[in-house]
Amino acid sequence: MERRLCAILAADVVGYSRLMELDEAGTLAELKRRRREILEPLVAEHRGRVVKVMGDGVLIEFGSAVHAVACAIALQKGMAEANAGAPDGPGIVLRIGVNLCDAIVEGADLYGEGVNVAARLQALTEPGGILVSGTAYDHVRNKVEAAFEELGPQSLKNLRDPVRVYRVAGGPPAPAPRRAADPSQEKPSIAVLPFANLSGDPEQAYFSDGITEDIVTGLSHFRQLFVVSRNSSFQYRDKQADLRRVADALGVRFIVEGSVRRSGNTLRVTAQLIDAATGSHLWAQRFDRELTDIFALQDEITRTIVASLAGQVEEADRRRALRKSGSDLTAYDLLLRGKHRLEKGSMEDVLAARGIFERVLEIDPDYAPGYVELAETYFYEAISDWSSAPEAAVEKLFELGHEAARLDPQDSRARLCLAFGYLRIKGNLEAAKAQVEEAIALNPNDLDNYCLKGFLSTYMGELEDVLWCTSEAIRRAPNMPEKCLHSRVMAEYLLGRYADAIATFARMSRPPIELIGWVAACYAELGREEEARAAAQQFRDRARTEKPGLATGDPVAWTAYWARRFPARDRASVERLLEGLRKAGFPV
C-alpha cells in the first residue's frame, strides 16, 4: 500500500446539531460562505489540500507540520473575527486537532492510525481551541508564532498507547456557542457528559467512552428530545466543571453524568440525571455486574439507562408544564398537558386533550408530535362506546398519522400510531406489522414499540417473537410498564407453558380483566381446579362493574367477548383459549 508522511488537520463545528435544529438553512448557508471565504483561501495559502468534508467536519492534508499548525491558528482567528462581525448570525466555532503521521494513501483519501489521532485530538479540544500531537509539536516549536501548553500523555479512544498532547495558547478567546432561546422553552434538551473512568487503569477508558457514546446515540432516537452531539459533550472529558455552567454553554436543561469502576472481575457503573436549572437529581441508578463479555455488558447497561432516561426526562418536563401559567405555554408545554389529560381516558378528557392538541398545531402547523397526539384522540374515540361517528374518527386517525409521518419520517411514534390503527381498528395485521417494524427500526429503545409488536405477534401466531419482544423490553427497563407483560402471558399459555404464564401474571399489580381469564385457563390446564375457580370468580366480580354486558351468562355473548379480545388470525388458537376457559368454568 502507498504511504506518505504528512500533517493532518481535523476540524469540526461545535454544537453543529443544535445549530441545524435552530436554523438549518441559515447554518448551511453560513458554513458554505465561511468555507469559501475563510477556510479554502487559508488552506491554499498554507499549501494544504482538503481531503474531505464530512457534514460538520473537515480533514486537511499538509506537507509540513509548520504549515498545518500555522493554518489552524489563522483559521481560528478568521472564524472568531467572522463571529464578531456578524453577531446576529449563527456562531460557527471550531475545534481543531493536528497530527504529523505516516498515512495510508488510497486515491484522494487518507487513512490510518495517524489520521485517527488528529480526529481524536479534535474531539478533545475546547471550543475555539487547537490541540497538537507530540510528533507535530516536535517539528513546529520555535517555528510558529504561538505558545504551547504541555498537557502530558493522553489516552485517546481506541488507541493502545497514550499520545503526548500540547495546546496552542495565546490565541484569540473562543466565543461560546450561541443559543437562540432558553432551553426550558423548547423540547427537553440533554447532554451526556463522558462517564468518568475510576478504575485507575487508563486502558478502561474505552469502556466508559463507549457507554457514553452509546447513550448519546440511543437517546437521539427519541425525537421528543434534543440531544447534544458527543463532540460537544466530550470537551468536558476528565474535567471538573460546574454543571450549571456546562448546561448553559451547551444550551441544555438536563445533564447525564456517571462513572465506571472496575475491580477484579466485577464492574460498577453509576449514572444520574440532573436538572441543571435547579441542580436537583431526578434519577440515579447503579449497576454491579460480573465482567464476562464486556461488550455485551456495555450494551445491557446502555439499553437500561437510555430507556429509563427518556421517561424520566418527559415526566420532569410534564410536571414543569403543569405548573406553568397559561400565558407562558409553548407548543411543547401544551403537548405535555394534552398527554396528561389523554391518559385519563374518559370522553371528557379525550375531548379536552383534542382541544389542547389543536391549539398546539395552531402555534406550529408543522409540529409532527402534535399530529401524532391529535390522532391518538381519534383512536380513543374510534374504539369507544360513546362516539357518534366512529368511522369518521378512523379516517381522521389515519389522515393525521400519515401527515405526522410525512412531516417527520424519522418519528417512530407516528409509525406506532398507524400500527395501532391498523391493528385495533382495521384488523389489518400485515399493515400493522410493517408499521411497527418501521417504528422499531427508527427507535429500538422505545418500550411501546416492543409492547405493541408483542400483541401483534400473538395474534399472528408468532409466539416466539412475543417472548423476544418482551425480553427486549425487560432488558431495556426491568421496571417496565406492566402492559408489556400482557402478550407474554397469552403466548406462554398458547405454547403450553402454563406455569410460566402464571409466574408472569404474578408480576402484574393490576392486570386487565381479560388476563384473569387467561390465568384461570392456565390453572385449569394444570389441573389446579380450586385456583382456576377462584380466578374465574375474580373475573366475574370485576365484570359486574367493568363488563356489565357479560352479567347474563349468555354463552354467545361470552364467546363473542373473547373473540374480540383475542382477534387471532389462527382459529385454532382461539379454540385453544376457549377450551381452557370452559375447563375453568366460563360459559363459552
Encode pLDDT of 548-585 as tens digits: 777 677 888 889 889 888 999 999 999 999 999 999 99
Contact 450, 437 (CB under 8 A): no
Going from the C-alpha of 53 to that of each of 36, 107, 130, the distances in angstroms are: 13, 16, 19
Task: Give the CATH number of domain 2-169; options: 3.40.50.300, 3.40.640.10, 3.30.565.10, 3.30.70.1230.
Answer: 3.30.70.1230
Residue of 224, 219, 156, 223 lying closest to 191 (CA atoms): 219
DSSP of 332-383: HHHHHHHHHHHTT-SHHHHHHHHHHHHHHHHH-TT-HHHHHHHHHHHHHHHT
> Per-residue pLDDT averaged across 277-283, rounded?
79
* % pLDDT > 70, the chain: 87
- pLDDT attached to residue 157: 64
- pLDDT attached to residue 159: 67
Q: Residues of CATH 3.30.70.1230 domain(s) within the chain?
A: 2-169
| pLDDT interval class at 421 (50, 70, 90) | very high
| pLDDT interval class at 380 (50, 70, 90) | very high
- pLDDT attached to residue 526: 96
pTM over 0.85: no
Higher-scoring residue by pLDDT: 251, 48: 48
- pLDDT attached to residue 250: 77
Neighbours of 287 (CB within 10 A): 16
Give per-residue pLDDT as tens, 47-81: 999 998 877 789 999 999 999 999 999 999 999 89
> Per-residue pLDDT averaged across 129-152, rounded?
89
- pLDDT attached to residue 18: 66
- The yes/no answer on whether domain 183-315 falls in CATH 3.40.50.10610 is yes
- pLDDT attached to residue 328: 58
Q: What is the mean pLDDT of the chain?
A: 84
| Dihedral Cα 94, 98, 102, 103, nearest 10 deg | 0
- pLDDT attached to residue 174: 39
Higher-scoring residue by pLDDT: 250, 466: 466
- pLDDT attached to residue 196: 86
| pLDDT interval class at 184 (50, 70, 90) | very low
DSSP code of residue 443? -
Length of the chain: 588
- pLDDT attached to residue 89: 58
CATH class of 324-439: mainly alpha
Give per-residue pLDDT as tens, 69-118: 999 999 999 998 988 877 655 578 899 999 999 988 888 888 888 898 99
Distance, CA of 236 to CA of 443 (rounded, Å): 28
- pLDDT attached to residue 566: 93
pLDDT at 199 over 90: no
> Per-residue pLDDT averaged across 441-461, rounded?
88
Least confident of 173-187, 216-230, 463-477: 173-187
| Dihedral Cα 554, 555, 560, 565, nearest 10 deg | 100
| pLDDT interval class at 480 (50, 70, 90) | low
* % pLDDT > 90, the chain: 37
Higher-scoring residue by pLDDT: 263, 140: 140
- Mean pLDDT is highest, among 269-273, 323-327, 526-530, 539-543, for 526-530
- pLDDT attached to residue 158: 60
| CA dihedral sign, ordered 451, 452, 454, 455 | positive
| pLDDT interval class at 275 (50, 70, 90) | confident
| pLDDT interval class at 180 (50, 70, 90) | very low
- pLDDT attached to residue 535: 95
- pLDDT attached to residue 38: 95
Q: Residues of CATH 3.40.50.10610 domain(s) within the chain?
A: 183-315
| pLDDT interval class at 173 (50, 70, 90) | very low
Residue 362, classified by CB atoms within 10 Å of its CB into exposed (0-12), middle (13-18) or buried (19+), is: exposed
Distance, CA of 554 to CA of 587 (rounded, Å): 7
pLDDT at 475 over 70: no
- pLDDT attached to residue 182: 37
